[in-house]
Amino acid sequence: MNLNIALLKGDGIGPEIVDSAVRVLEAIGKKYDHTFNFTPYDIGGVAIDKHGIPLPEETVSGCLAADSVLLGAVGGPKWDTLPGNLRPEKALLGIRAAMGLFTNLRPAKLYPALKGDCPLREDIVANGFDIMIVRELTGGIYFGERGMREGKYGEEAYDTECYSRMEIERIVRVAFETARKRNKKLISIDKANVLESSRLWRKIVHEIAEQYPDVECADMLVDNAAMQLVRNPAQFDVIVTSNMFGDILSDEASQITGSIGMLPSASLNETTKGLYEPIHGSAPDIAGQNKANPIATILSAAMMLLYSFNMAKESQNIIDAVDKVLNEGYRTPDLAHGAPALTTVEITDKIIERI
Ligand code: IPM
Ligand code: MG
């Protein structure tokens, strides 16, 4: 196959980790006879510096024209004082909206080789865990009406959580389909004891559940879910939740896997086009030092092969190569606990050698 991939390297460690994933994709292309053409576009802080805005039109059209998009990370202290609509993060929301990426898949699993990095007690993770978080990505409070106004006590700010039936139905369907392909257990997380939007969410989950009698489905309140994730993570298979709850819970889930540097994500719409990115940020403190863990981005590329290009064996080949490298004891500094570690480039070389 001949495929066009837009690269949004972004800020901080973004360029280094995307370069690693590109090298891995090139190795896969060579082995399986695919051609991947990469075109870089500016996003985030670098785009602000070059074009004055975080998401130039050219970047949006480039992503829409490509077969798929690989993103590093955006943001950094340099741009932290800009107004909300000019911040690098705004570009991330903008590209998600422009591509209609309403589904965000965030797998969080415990690697046997990294069990020692999990902050939970040994007996809690004795049997490991493997969770797929299905996060709604283009609705809710991230995109609801917001603003400033004069209130009863003077200046006030507001953000609105709003979900339409259509938005809930489509993400819940994706979650049931995902559960069907896994262990057939779905937990929908909401705050239906307080929020009207959650009550509609829950009602729709129950309606759709009737069409999936083979999937065991339950509701959980978000505060309880935050607790259950550290009390007994193995109880979860697939989670479906709103944009903001998914943002928060996926960081929590990543931490119990040992390192946020390991977790990939896929953002999808109704087509096969997607945007793939690590769930971690731009880590400006270690940027440009060849120290970053590229595995989350490399695994995001593996997700791209599976979800956008239907290349199951190529995708699995990357996952297996990462597993081997970890099982052989190779670590980047975030996982080395002060012991000698490999650089970004070196661990990428090890992964490529095993492809
Ligand atoms: C994420 C990030 C983004 C989000 C930020 C950077 C806007 O935290 O992808 O999880 O909140 O969605
Ligand atoms: Mg987040």
Say whether pLDDT at 261 is over 90: no
- Domain range list for the chain: 1-109+270-355, 119-256
Say whether pLDDT at 292 is over 90: yes
Q: Tell me, what's the pLDDT at 121?
A: 95
At 266, give phi and psi (nearest 5°). -125, 130
Question: Active site residue: 9, 90, 191, 291, which one?
Answer: 191
Q: Tell me, what's the pLDDT at 84?
A: 83
Question: Over the stretch 50-107, which tens digit does the pLDDT of each residue have?
Answer: 999 999 999 999 999 999 999 999 999 999 999 988 999 999 999 999 999 999 999 9
> What residue ranges line ligand 1, CB within 6 angstroms?
89, 92, 247, 279
Q: What is the helix (H) or strand (E) element at residue 159, kind and residue range?
A: strand 154-159
Letter string b/e over residues 75-104, b meaning 16 or more CB atoms within 10 A of that residue's CB: bbeebeeeeeeebbbbbbbbbbbbbbbbbb
> pLDDT confidence of 259, banded at 50, 70, 90?
confident
Share of the chain above pLDDT 90, in %: 97
Verify whether residue 9 is a known catalytic residue. Answer: no
Residue 320: both structure tokens together: 């297996």
Q: Collapse the DSSP code of 243 into the 3-class scheme (helix H, G, I; strand E, B; otherwise coil) and give the result.
A: helix
Question: Over the stretch 126-183, which tens digit does the pLDDT of each residue have?
Answer: 999 999 999 999 999 999 999 999 999 999 999 999 999 999 999 999 999 999 999 9
Residue 107 buriedness (CB in 10 A; 0-12 / 13-18 / 19+): buried
Q: Tell me, what's the pLDDT at 85?
A: 84
Other Cβ atoms within 10 Å of 355 Cβ, number: 17
Pocket probe for ligand 1: among 89, 243, 300, the residue whose CB has the most ligand atoms within 8 Å is: 89
Rounded distance from Cα 31 to ligand 2 centre (Å): 34
For residues 95 and 12, what is the distance between their CA atoms, to the nearest angstrom?
19
Say whether pLDDT at 48 is over 90: yes
Say whether pLDDT at 35 is over 90: yes
> pLDDT confidence of 33, banded at 50, 70, 90?
very high
The CATH T-level fold of domain 1-109+270-355 is: Isopropylmalate Dehydrogenase (3.40.718)
Q: Collapse the DSSP code of 158 into the 3-class scheme (helix H, G, I; strand E, B; otherwise coil) and give the result.
A: strand
Q: Which of 290, 354, 279 is nearest to 72 (CA)?
A: 279
Say whether pLDDT at 9 is over 90: yes
Q: Tell me, what's the pLDDT at 306?
A: 97
Q: What is the helix (H) or strand (E) element at residue 60, kind and residue range?
A: helix 57-65
**Average pLDDT value for the chain:** 97
Q: Which residue's CA is minimally distant from atom 12 of ligand 1?
A: 247
Residues 277 and 73 sit within 8 Å (Cβ to Cβ): yes
CATH class for the domain made up of 119-256: alpha beta
Q: Tell me, what's the pLDDT at 260?
A: 82
Domains 1-109+270-355 and 119-256 share a fold: yes
Question: Active site residue: 247, 276, 291, 334, which one?
Answer: 247
For residues 135 and 295, what is the distance between their CA atoms, to the nearest angstrom?
21
Q: What average pLDDT does the segment 213-240 reach? A: 98
Q: Tell me, what's the pLDDT at 315?
A: 98
Instruction: Considering every ligand atom shown, identify the ligand nearest to the alpha carbon of residue 281 and give its number.
Output: 1
Measure the CA dihedral 145/151/157/163, to 10°. -30
| Long-range Cβ pairs for the range 27-33 (8 Å, 24+) | 27/352, 27/355, 28/305, 28/314, 28/317, 28/318, 28/355, 31/314, 31/317, 31/355, 32/311, 32/313, 32/314
Residue 300: both structure tokens together: 């995001």
